[in-house]
Amino acid sequence: MFTGNLCERDQDEVEFHCIDETAMMLLIDFAYTGTVAVTDANVQMLLPAASLFQIEQVLRQCCDFLQSALHPHNCIGVARFAQLHACYKLYTQAYNYICRHFEDVSKSEEFFLLTASEILDLLSNDSLAVVSEESVFEAVERWVYFDYANRRCYLSKLLRCVRLPLLPVKFLTRCYEANPLVREDLTAQHLLNAALKYHLVPELRLRSLGAEDDTEQPTTARPRCPPKVLCAVGGKNGLFATLNSVEVYFPESNTWTEVSPLNHQRYNCATAVADNRLFVVGGITCVPRNGETHHIHSNSVSCWDPTTNRYNPTEDSWEFVAPMADKRINFGVGVTHGFLFVVGGHNGMQHLNTIERYDPYSDQWAACTPMETPSTGLGVAVLNGHLYVAGGHSGSAYLQQVLQYDPVEDTWAAGPPMNAARCNFGLAAL
């Protein structure tokens, strides 16, 4: 303005219509002192002024102040404010905060004031950190009821953003039969009915999730990004000492917390996460009998659901679910298409070539097409929706083979073998 060819360059007095007087005084003081005190009272006036005059140091200080003050009750307002003034880093930080704290944010007054397009965009985000999709469904209900007359027309659009197939059957059934919002909307009823079919017809679920075209794959069945923790389950801590303890690591606090122990001491087992629940499969369980501890090859499966207890060691518990057909140790496990697959291993008498599929929704196991060669100590990983099974020991030889299993077609295909035969090794998809 003052260094170019604009008329203000030659004027003795220039009037700024869009700058707050207090903000202008703070910026003038900053020009002389190099410091400015950003507070709750002045940040909303100071940031636009610093942005207009391109005073980066003050602008950055205002953004840092707002970022440090983020709270479930103000984060939506901060995101809007940052977007209005092209502070894209602050906007990203505020939006990510909204996603990380969605359950609390969805109960705030700012959430109820979101526009239809804003809430549709938010609910479509894969990064919403929710323990259960029920939280998202309930957030939709609260938003609609806040202005029922004007918002009821958006219900079906909003429900398309809710991962309805991830809701429990009992919850879906209750909503379908008794929820007033759903009962008044035929499209909403259709969406809940389709979600119920997802639970009750495993073959239909496999086909829909196995679609080659990504546009055909229902994003409503894809899990969101839940809070991430590590779980250490069972094992051994000595030659004869086995554990039933379970510990959970929380990266945010950098701490381990002990939660409810397993029903039995167990080792050589496998763990997997499906339907946002932790499953411990097979292995060797230690069962006391007649004053002695017996080590038994197991086909049992235990399940722990963190969504019902929020990692509370006084309330959580493990429960047995349907057992496998075969007892297994040194086997592989993988999760794809919402199903848990166990492959190969040893049952205490022979090497296995069998593969079983567990449906966490129906709590049932089903036999799948077996491998041609039995394998123990094999590696299993999931890549592009297929199970890759590599190496192992057949009972007579170490294996180099690599097999690809298609869970939709229930078929095996041979891939190029590894350069070296391997057993009891690690295999991971990266």
Average pLDDT rounded to a whole number, residues 324-342: 95
- 364-367 and 355-359 as β-strands: parallel, antiparallel, unpaired? antiparallel
Q: Classify 114-221 by CATH class.
A: mainly alpha
Q: pLDDT category, 213, cuts 50, 70, 90?
A: very low
Query: CB count, 10 Å around CB of 23?
Result: 23
The token duo for 72 is 């479930």
Share of the chain above pLDDT 90, in %: 70
Q: pLDDT category, 4, cuts 50, 70, 90?
A: low
pLDDT for 310 equals: 57
Average pLDDT, the chain: 89
* Residue 216, pLDDT above cutoff 50: no
* Residue 400, pLDDT above cutoff 60: yes
Please determine whether the domains at 114-221 and 230-415 fall in the same fold group of CATH: no
Q: Facing residues of 13 across strands?
A: none
Q: pLDDT category, 313, cuts 50, 70, 90?
A: low
Q: pLDDT category, 308, cuts 50, 70, 90?
A: low
Q: pLDDT category, 2, cuts 50, 70, 90?
A: low
Q: pLDDT category, 426, cuts 50, 70, 90?
A: very high
DSSP string of 216-259, one letter each residue: GS-GGGS---PPP-EEEE--BSSSS-B---EEEEETTTTEEEEE
Q: Facing residues of 274 across strands?
A: 277
In CATH, the number for domain 230-415 is 2.120.10.80
**Sequence ranges of the domains in the chain:** 114-221, 230-415
DSSP string of 178-190, one letter each residue: H-HHHHT-HHHHH
Average pLDDT rounded to a whole number, residues 304-324: 75
